[in-house]
């Protein structure tokens, strides 16, 4: 069972894919016209029904891309991945929907709705803008769960066709789980199906880019889409799954453990320092490393380069090969990476400053 609220990082992706019938993304990669970096590099590793989206893109037709964020903590570099994906879908004709899951944060974390709104604006929306997603565009729709009447009406209707034993089977809820927590997934299902209602895009292929921890919600959504097909004409939403970036200490990168994470609003000095203390795939001694080479596969520094910091495939390959051959050593590699991180957070800080006012107005 996957529990979306306490999911930890040591994931056997293969095993989960087999167990839940998630397909391999690489099998359809070559038919994608201009795949994103995360797709090409296997960071997006699985999907359900992505081919429906691919067809729409190839025919220059639009589609829906929906995601949500729980406004509960700070944004770290792992969260950048979702923004990168939204930008790709936007560029390829997607109608983008972003739900700020203040109701979920209220139900499952100790967060008031008021705090949720503030965190959403000052932490998430400004960083989304700083990372280059145009939240003011007419094809981008951002809302707070608690503020959308249509959403709450839909969640309520959907909840009619699911019962407690199904919810327990999917999420493992206990008799002591509070009802808001049990209900929160229905609000999320409504997030995913709302864009297909008449008030928005009407039924249309939909994609939800998520981490594997969110798969229980996807399964519930697909099930309910079928149950409500007669009433709403829903097309079952598809999904993609991305790997989680490893934390700096090699535990999961998590906002609640600052030592594991590089935050988007870390100071340049701090971000640099964090890279320099990150766990690498280097050998015990310099001599050994020169003889045997390093292990980029097990290296957090390499992961940062792979996911976020080197877009040129040839340059990345060079790092990989030279690490393996013992030519590139960790000190030099960290130095190069820390400069890239520094530039990234510096750039973001400048763009965030220009974005606060815009972010404030988006939710009104």
- Give the binding range for ligand TRP (CB under 6 A) out of 63-71, 171-179, 266-274, 319-327: 63-71
Residue listed under structure tokens 């493992």? 172
Residue window 133-172: x/- pattern of binding to ligand SF4, with contact defined by CB under 6 A: ----------------------------------------
| Distance from C-alpha of 136 to C-alpha of 133, rounded to nearest angstrom | 9
- Residue closer to ligand TRP, measured from CB, 99 or 337: 99
**Phi then psi for 85, rounded to 5 degrees?**
-70, -40
- Which one, 53 or 192, has the nearer CB to ligand TRP? 192
Q: Does 101 bind ligand TRP (CB under 6 A)?
A: yes
Beta carbon nearer to ligand SF4, 219 or 290: 290
Which helix (H) or strand (E) is 47 found in, with range? strand 44-48
250, 255, 258, 262: CA torsion to nearest 10: 70
As a whole number of angstroms, the distance between CA 351 and CA 339 comes to 18
The answer to whether residue 248 forms part of the interface with ligand SF4 (CB under 6 A) is no
Taking the complex as a whole, the smallest distance from the CB of residue 331 to ligand SF4 amounts, in Å, to 8
What residues numbered 167-206 form the site for ligand TRP, per CB under 6 A?
188, 191-192
| 3-state DSSP assignment of residue 134 | coil
| Whole-number Cα distances in Å, 33 to 56, 57, 213, 323 | 12, 9, 28, 32
- Please identify which residue in 75, 105, 158, 301 interacts with ligand SF4, judged by CB under 6 A: 301
Q: Is 214 in the site for ligand TRP (CB under 6 A)?
A: yes
Residue 323 sits in the site that holds ligand SF4 (CB under 6 A): yes
Decide if residue 65 touches ligand TRP (CB under 6 A).
no
Measured between alpha carbons, how far is residue 315 from residues 29, 71, 319, 322 in Å?
22, 36, 7, 11
* Binding-site ranges for ligand TRP (CB under 6 A): 66-70, 99, 101, 104, 188, 191-192, 208, 210, 214
């Amino acid at each position: 069972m996957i529990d979306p609220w306490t999911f930890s990082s040591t994931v056997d992706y293969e095993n989960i894919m087999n167990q839940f019938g998630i397909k391999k993304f690489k099998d359809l990669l070559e038919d994608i016209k201009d795949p994103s970096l995360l797709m090409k590099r296997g960071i997006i590793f699985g999907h359900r029904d992505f081919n429906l989206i691919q067809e729409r893109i190839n025919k220059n037709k639009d589609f829906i891309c929906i995601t949500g964020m729980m406004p509960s903590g700070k944004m770290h570099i792992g969260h950048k991945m979702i923004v990168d994906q939204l930008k790709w879908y936007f560029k390829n004709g997607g109608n983008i929907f972003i739900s700020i899951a203040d109701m979920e944060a209220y139900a499952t974390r100790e967060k008031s709705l008021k705090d949720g709104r503030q965190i959403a604006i000052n932490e998430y929306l400004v960083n989304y803008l700083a990372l280059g997603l145009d939240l003011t565009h007419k094809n981008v729709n951002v809302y707070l769960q608690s503020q959308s009447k249509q959403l709450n009406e839909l969640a309520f209707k959907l909840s009619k066709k699911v019962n407690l034993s199904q919810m327990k089977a999917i999420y493992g809820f206990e008799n002591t789980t509070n009802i808001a927590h049990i209900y929160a997934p229905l609000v999320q299902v409504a997030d995913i199906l709302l864009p297909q209602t008449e008030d928005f895009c009407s039924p249309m292929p939909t994609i939800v880019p998520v981490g594997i921890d969110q798969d229980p919600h996807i399964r519930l959504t697909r099930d309910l889409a079928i149950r409500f097909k007669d009433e709403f004409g829903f097309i079952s939403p598809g999904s993609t799954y991305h790997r989680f970036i490893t934390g700096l200490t090699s535990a999961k990168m998590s906002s609640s453990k600052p030592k594991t994470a590089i935050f988007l609003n870390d100071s340049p000095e701090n971000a640099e320092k964090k890279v320099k203390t990150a766990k690498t795939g280097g050998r015990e001694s310099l001599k050994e490393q020169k003889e045997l080479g390093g292990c980029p596969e097990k290296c957090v520094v390499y992961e940062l380069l792979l996911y976020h910091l080197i877009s040129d495939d040839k340059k990345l390959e060079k790092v990989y090969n030279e690490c393996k051959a013992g030519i590139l050593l960790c000190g030099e590699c960290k130095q190069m990476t820390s400069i890239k991180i520094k530039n990234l957070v510096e750039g973001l800080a400048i763009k965030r400053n220009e974005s606060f006012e815009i972010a404030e107005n988006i939710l009104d």
